[in-house]
Amino acid sequence: MAPAAEFPVSQTAPEPLLPRVVCVHRRRRDAPRVWTLELQTAGEPQPPFAAGQFNMLTAFGVGEVPISFSGDPAAPQRLVHTVRAVGAVSEALVRLEAGAPLGVRGPYGKGWPLEAADGRDVLLVAGGLGLAPLRPALYQLLAQRERHGRITLLYGTRSPRDILFRRELAAWGTRGDLALEVTVDHATTPWQGHVGVVTALIAHARFDPQRTLALLCGPEIMMRFTAEALCAAGVAPEAIHLSMERSMKCGVGTCGHCQFGGFLLCRDGPVLPYALLRAPLRVREL
């Protein structure tokens, strides 16, 4: 593992564990139990963030959780986070109405290595809510479209009603410079798209494995099988990057809650190359 000095911690305030108070500007329901929150402050400038980083969001009186950015890095003044209600804190966050206060710490972590995408094909593979952390990367790639080869987004989710960002997906699907394939685990009519796991979509994707950068985000088992399928197709493990999720508490690499093998994912990740993750991902219950 690389020494900690190679993974700088982003600290945007004198006290990194003290949240800034922001307010909900608007919220939108994207899927069952999934809401996108757009946050604003009272004139305080927001620190810039990189695609793939995360904030710690506080529901006052309830707790704090890590949530990846899902907005455009070119508009850092708009803090956008997509949240699935799966526990007490996330349930409290998605219930916040416009004008309600919440706490924000960050940005933290290591984002997608988009500087390595120049001149290469880029393959983004998302499973379920994993589309949200990949959305900022896609914004950035499309804003600099002339710098890249083929760009392909493969997205899989449980059912048609669970598909996120429907309007954007429809718009992206009409672009001539982006290949998009969507699959669901199960569906009934009127769904006319793919049915099956997202790894099956790799056969539909056109990319040069020798010059492809792959970005994966979703359930851990989905990322593991997708990474193995890409390796089998000739993509180097060093060119495949996964966004890992563990229970992050401090966000600055001190509490140890997010330890995964030799990594503290809030500091060394959440984005890491598959070359470093391949062995620990094979350890049961790590």
Q: How buried is 236 (Cβ within 10 angstroms: 0-12 exposed, 13-18 middle, 19+ buried)? A: middle
Mean pLDDT to the nearest integer, 69-87: 93
Domain boundaries, the chain: 4-108, 114-281
CA distance linking residue 118 with residue 140, whole number of Å: 12
Tokens for 130, please give them. Answer: 């994993």
Mean pLDDT to the nearest integer, 211-235: 97
pLDDT of residue 4: 37
- Is the pLDDT at 9 greater than 70, yes or no? no
Q: Between 111 and 190, where is the model more confident?
A: 111
Please work out, in degrees rounded to the nearest 5, the angle formed at the alpha carbon of residue 176 by the alpha carbons of 171 and 181: 65
The tokens 């803090």 sit on which residue? Answer: 79
pLDDT of residue 5: 35
Share of the chain above pLDDT 70, in %: 94
- CATH class for the region spanning 114-281: alpha beta
Whole-number average pLDDT of the chain: 92
CA distance linking residue 275 with residue 263, whole number of Å: 13
Mean pLDDT to the nearest integer, 35-46: 85
Mean pLDDT to the nearest integer, 249-256: 92
- Is the pLDDT at 13 greater than 70, yes or no? no
CA distance linking residue 262 with residue 275, whole number of Å: 14
> What pLDDT, in 10s, does the model give residues 153-192?
999 999 999 999 999 999 999 999 999 999 999 998 789 9
Q: Between 127 and 11, where is the model more confident?
A: 127
Q: Answer yes or no: same fold for 4-108 and 114-281.
A: no
Q: CATH homologous superfamily for 4-108?
A: Translation factors (2.40.30.10)
CA distance linking residue 203 with residue 175, whole number of Å: 21
Least confident of 4-13, 114-123, 156-165, 220-229: 4-13
- Is the pLDDT at 286 greater than 80, yes or no? no
- Is the pLDDT at 77 greater than 80, yes or no? no
pLDDT of residue 106: 94
